[in-house]
Every structure is written in C-alpha cells, then in structure tokens.
A and B are shown apart, each in its own frame.
Chain A
Amino acid sequence: MISKSLFINVAMIAISIGIVITYVEPTFSEISKLQEDISVYQNEQKKVSEVNNQLSSLIDVLTSVYTDDERRLLTYMPDQIDPIDVVRDLSLISKEIGLTNISPVFEGKNTEKNQNREARGANTVQPEEYRFALSAGGTYRQIKNLFLLLEQNDYPLEVQSLSLVSEEEGVLFFTATLSVYTYKDSATREEIVF
C-alpha cells in the first residue's frame, strides 16, 4: 500500500512539472520574444533619432546660408521664368554691345533633352529647359563681347547652337539658340517610410 506522504510527493512533483510545462516554459518563450521586439523597437528608435539629428544639423546648415547667396541661387535656378524678362535681357545686352538687327525670340520649353539626360542615368532630376533664339549683326569683336556678357549673366544663358555668316566686309550675322533653366521639383512629396 502506497503511503500518504509518497502520494503527496508524487502529486507535488507532477504539479510542479505541470506548472513548468504549462506556464514557466511558455512564459519564458514569450519573454524572449518580447525582448527581441524591444531590441527591434530600440534599433528603429535609434535610426529615427539619427535621422532627426541629421535633419536638425542640415537645418542649421541651411539657416547659416547667407540670404544673399540664397537669393543668387534662386536667381540662377529660379522656380519659374518670365520669357518676356529673358527676351528683354537679351535685347538689352545686345544693344549694349552695339549689335544691329537684334531679334530675340522665345521658342518654348524643351522637354526632349531633359528626358534624354534623365535616361542617361543622371543622378539628380534635371531642371526645366526653355529655349530662346537670338539673331543680330555686328563685327566679330562685338559678337565675341556679346558672348562674354552672356557668360557673366546672373542666370545661365547656355548656348546650344550658333551660326555665324559673313554678310559684308567686316560684318557678321549670327543666329544663336540659348537655353534658360528653371528648378524642377523632384519627388520630394513622397512619403518617408521608416
């Protein structure tokens, strides 16, 4: 006959094993999973914190840019252009040189070249390009001076093509195609996903 104390001992061992199997072991697994989750959240928090710190330092850099420099950048790469302003500038520059038969014309936006540049794998989004034609007559020296002035302009007046023809003794006639650029917003509106 099994004694009472032995029965109690066996029962207690059985209950203990039951507690370990049904509670302690699954709880340990759960704790281990929780710790992994904590580690993931902490890592993500670290990454977000790094981004925030970086952003904060970039904002500091941005605010340290002189207003004058920022204005120059906005002039060089404006959000938009007024074709009449550019035509007027081309006309004034040509007149200052003393050219004759000055004819500046706005030709429109050039989309083809931008696409080609982007297709070639350029890293950044290419700016919008607008084309202007300028034709006039003058001496070789005057034409050279015109291009010296165009080169110093506050915004780029990029020569795409130039055709020079000798009209009469000492006088040349030229036709040039010039490009003016405006800033093209990239996909900055994309949602930032962490």
Chain B
Amino acid sequence: MFAILLSAGGVYLYQQYTNNKLDQAVENLNAEIESFNQADMERVTQFNNRLSQAQGRLENSISVTAVLERLQAATIDTVQINTLSLMREGDEKITIAAEIQTDSFDSTLFQQRVFLIKDSVQEFVISEVGSTVVKEAGQTEQERNSRPAVSFLTTFSLPLEAVPSDPQAAAEAYVSAVTDQDAQEEEINEDII
C-alpha cells in the first residue's frame, strides 16, 4: 500500500514535470515563430522571383543578327532574297519566310540542298516555284525579258538555341562593323579628293 502511494506520488510529480516541459516546448515554438521575419521573407522571395524572370528572358534571348548571318551564309551567290519575314514563336523557335529569286531551276535545286544540309534548319518547305523576270532597277523591258528567272517562297524554322544572343559578341561585332564602315568612307573620301 505504501509502495503504491509512493508510486502514485512519483507519477503525479512526473506528470507535473512533463506538463512543464510541454509548456516550455510551446513557449519555445512560439518564440521561434515570432522571430520569423515576414518582411525579410518577402524581400528574399521578391528578389528570387525577379532574378528568375530575368534569367528566363536572358536564356531565351536571340540574336537577329545571327539569324541574318546564318541566312547570308546559307544563300548561294545566284540567289536574291526579295522579302524576308521572321516570326518568333514563344520560347521555342523562329519561323522564317522568304521570297527568293534565282536565275535558274538548277540554282533553285542547289539552294534547296544548301538549306537542307544546315543542321539547325527545321520544317523546311519550298512552295510557289515559278518562272518570273528579274526585277532590277534601270533595266529595259527587253533586258528583263532576256533574263528569265525562277522565284519561290521558302519557309523554315530555327530553334532558339541555334541563334542565342551574346551581348559581348554583339558589342565587338558592332565596333568592328562601325570601324569597317568608317574605313570605307575614308577610302571613298580619299578617292574623291
């Protein structure tokens, strides 16, 4: 009986101790929650979101100059591009449509092959192939008729990764282009003098 009373007392004391421990745990949790700074959290989240959005645009930025240069490199000498349109389709690809004029059907076939061997060119289609006359300023009607030509429309797409933007390279290319232009102008001026 005495042992039971003693153990009951012990149980009572241990219960009190556990209760105190629980109260302490609750207090600690509340203190930890109170030390959380909502304003800091918003600041960090906002900075992170802004950085992610900027990174998203940066990763998907393209160089139109690179597209034009690729087209230039893939165009054979006997081909003339009359109109060119470029359409960006989201963050996936660029669709290019061009109205092209060549001097013969052989050139048309050769141009088609050149486009097709370019790795990044996708969904390549040639349409509306037909005979036409060369449209050049200052030509007489007789000259135009004596130079028959073949015209066609071509559409193809390029993935964005094929023409990524590189502002550093663009800056260097711009400086180089402007320097070349200045040199040419200087040469012309010297010739005139």
Contacts and interface: CB of A to CB of B under 8 A. Distances in A.
A151 B51 CA distance: 19
Contacts of A152: 167, 170-171, 174
Chain A's interface size range is 35 or more
A73 B86 contact: no
Given A30-B15, A162-B64, A62 B47 contact: yes
Contacts of A42: 25, 28
Contacts of B170: 148-149, 151-152
A127 B90 contact: no
B165 A151 contact: yes
B85 A59 contact: no
Interface in B81-107: 82-88, 90-91
Nearest to B4: A16
Interface string B40-56: 11111111011111101
Nearest to A20: B4
Contacts of B45: 186, 188
A55 B41 contact: yes
Contact of A186 (B12, B22, B49): B49
Nearest to A45: B29
A185 interface: yes
Nearest to B87: A161
B65 A188 contact: no
B32 interface: yes
Interface string A84-95: 000000000000
Contacts of B22: 34, 37-38, 41
Overall SS of chain B's interface: helix
B193 interface: no
B84 A147 contact: no
B19 interface: yes
Contact of A24 (B11, B25, B26, B28): B11
Interface in A151-194: 151-152, 156, 158-166, 168-169, 181, 183-186, 188-189, 192, 194
20 contacts: A19-B5, A19-B8, A24-B4, A48-B29, A51-B36, A55-B36, A59-B40, A59-B43, A77-B53, A77-B57, A117-B91, A124-B49, A124-B52, A144-B65, A156-B58, A161-B88, A162-B85, A168-B137, A183-B53, A188-B45
Given A55-B44, A149-B174, A164-B83, 16 more contacts: A23-B11, A31-B18, A52-B36, A55-B41, A59-B44, A62-B43, A76-B54, A125-B53, A144-B177, A148-B173, A158-B57, A159-B64, A160-B88, A161-B85, A162-B84, A188-B45
Interface of A: 12-13, 15-16, 19-20, 23-24, 27-28, 30-31, 34-35, 37-38, 41-42, 44-45, 48-49, 51-52, 55, 58-59, 62, 73-74, 76-77, 113, 116-117, 120, 122-127, 141, 144-145, 147-152, 156, 158-166, 168-169, 181, 183-186, 188-189, 192, 194
